[in-house]
Amino acid sequence: MENSPAQTLPWSVYKKISFRFAFIFFLLFIVLLDWSVNPVFEYFYYEVYLAAFLNDVISWIGSHLFHISYTIISPYDGQHNDRTYVYLLYFTMAAIAAMGTIVWSVLDRKRINYETLYYWLTVIIRYYLAFTLFLFALEKFFKMQFPDLGLFTLTESVGNLTPMDLAWAFFGYSYGYNFFIGIAETAALLLLFRRTMVVGALLTLGTLLNVMMVNFNYDVHAKMYPTALFVMTFFLLLPFMNRLFKFFFTHQSTSLPPIHAPVFKRRWMQISMPVVKFLFIGCSLIFWVKSYFRYKHRNDQREISRTQSGMFGVFDVESFVVNKDTLSSKNPVRWNQIIMGGERDGIRLQGDSIAYMFVSSERKELLMYPSQQHLSVNEQMIFSEYGYEESTYLKVDSILVARQVLHPFQFEVSDAAVLNLRGKIRNDSVFITGRRRPVETKDFRLIKNGFHWITE
């Protein structure tokens, strides 16, 4: 490769130190925190035991440096929750980046600049941001992130919704607005090309700022992740900030400097690189779109199967028998309502108390658990004990049932209206009868109100 003339300009000490830190931190972020975007990283995460190694490191840092006594829950594939694990991982990455910057600065103190390395870092960030935002756009186009409102949300009072539930209901109501958000996130694909990188970064910056405002103000469980993506996008715009400021605020004529890629001396490389680039982009986008079509189809088929099996609707509990004793409607242990189908399954108890469940129409089985936190902690304990092998994933439910974390029920629906559940909660035998309420999603005012040009 040849160097362009601009690469002879020296960098200041502060610029070189800042670049070294950013280089290490951003690469660690992409590899360690958001590995699920890339199947190669996903392979290393599980098959090369990177997940187990990271869990050991994070657990040690949490217990020894921060004296955390509770179980630290590691994220699963594609999850960006602001859990203790994630904050400790940010701390670890920042510490490694700081130490790496010191070592790098000592060993490479005579370096004039890092123009070539900076270019390749921006390429990695541009591709990472473009593909990540495009995946989020597909979540909107296929309405996977914000699904249609189901019976649980529609029958819940607004006052009992969490701020995140309220936000999800707002976004889930309208496919048109989902499509609009998806278009905005698709604009990140402009980052893939040098000519459109700046406008793509400006649009992506605005999109991510909106995501941050929603997540921070509605207590969405992923606040740091969009913030990190925002910082990475801002990093891409740093060399152009003075010119952008002149253009927007001073009315002075200016132009953006071209982004010079390293020049390959060999002609076959000059020809093959654009071909490889377009093939890589095209194949990646087609692969993800096809994957979402399959995913959407499986979800739709699952909902159809559940509806046909009778496991859909709002069931008011008429009798709740524990060890042959019928509990009164005021008993805090008693279930009052079972809601199945749509974006969320759930069980309503007394007041605003709820429980959760997994439903399998094929096995005619319902697995109830009282707390998301309790379930996650016990899942973490199982993976720590048995490892992250595929065999562990296949038997995790049976282990949770044996440890009385999940409570199994077998069900049957008779007369298309009566639900019978028979199972155990801890060591107690439980028999539940519920009657389907004659209500469907299309019956609610929110759903049937529709769109009106004239609102008199």
Q: What is the CATH number of the domain that holds 391?
A: 2.40.128
Amino acid, res. 267: R
Which tens digit of pLDDT belongs to each residue from 261-274?
777 777 777 778 88
Residue 272 identity (one-letter amino acid): S
For residue 451, tell me if it sits in a domain: no
Q: Clarify whether residues 320 and 423 are in a common domain.
A: yes
Cα(423)–Cα(413) distance, rounded to whole angstroms?
15
- Segment among 51-65, 255-269, 278-292 with least mean pLDDT: 255-269
- The answer to whether position 303 is within a domain reads no
Q: Does 456 map to a domain?
A: no
In a domain, residue 90? The reply is yes
Structure tokens, 245: 């400021």
> Domain check: are 220 and 332 in the same one?
no
Cα–Cα distance measured from residue 58 to residue 27, given in angstroms and rounded to the nearest whole number:
18
Torsion sign over Cα 380, 386, 388, 389: negative
Q: Is the pLDDT of residue 344 over 50?
A: yes
Sign, CA dihedral 239-242-244-247, equals: negative
**Among 264, 294, 324, where does a domain finish?**
294
Indicate if 184 and 239 belong to the same structural domain. Answer: yes
Confidence (pLDDT) at 14: 94
**Mean pLDDT of the chain, nearest integer:** 88
| pTM (2 d.p.) | 0.89
Domain assignment of residue 411, given as a range: 311-445
Q: Looking at residues 352-360, what average pLDDT do you find?
A: 85
452 in any annotated domain = no
What is the longest distance spanned by two Cα atoms in the chain? 86
pLDDT at 64 over 80: yes
Question: What's the pLDDT band for 7 if we cut at 50, 70, 90?
Answer: very low
Number of domains in the chain: 2
Task: Judge if 271 and 327 occupy the same domain.
Answer: no
Assigned domain for 201 exists? yes
Quick one: 284 and 176 in the same domain?
yes
Residues 212 and 270 in one domain: yes
Torsional sign, CA 310, 313, 315, 321: positive
3-state secondary structure of 225: helix
Q: What is the pLDDT of residue 55?
A: 85
Mean pLDDT of the region 330-349: 87
Give the number of other Cβ atoms within 10 Å of residue 190's Cβ.
19
Q: Does one domain contain both 96 and 240?
A: yes
Task: Note whether 355 and 428 are same-domain residues.
Answer: yes
CA angle (139, 50, 117) in 5-degree steps: 75
Are 117 and 193 found together in one domain? yes
Ramachandran class of 232: left when φ > 0, alpha when ψ lies in -120 to 50, beta otherwise = alpha
Q: Are residues 33 and 76 in the same domain?
A: yes
Residues 319 and 289 in one domain: no
The verdict on residue 300 lying in a domain is no
Tell which of 233, 262, 294 closes a domain. 294
Do residues 240 and 335 share a domain? no
pLDDT at 5 over 70: no
Alpha carbon distances (Å) from 253 to 195, 244, 325: 19, 10, 83
Question: Is there a domain that residue 306 lies in?
Answer: no
Decide if 421 contacts 322 (C-beta within 8 A): no
List the one residue out of 386, 406, 390 whose CA is nearest residue 398. 406
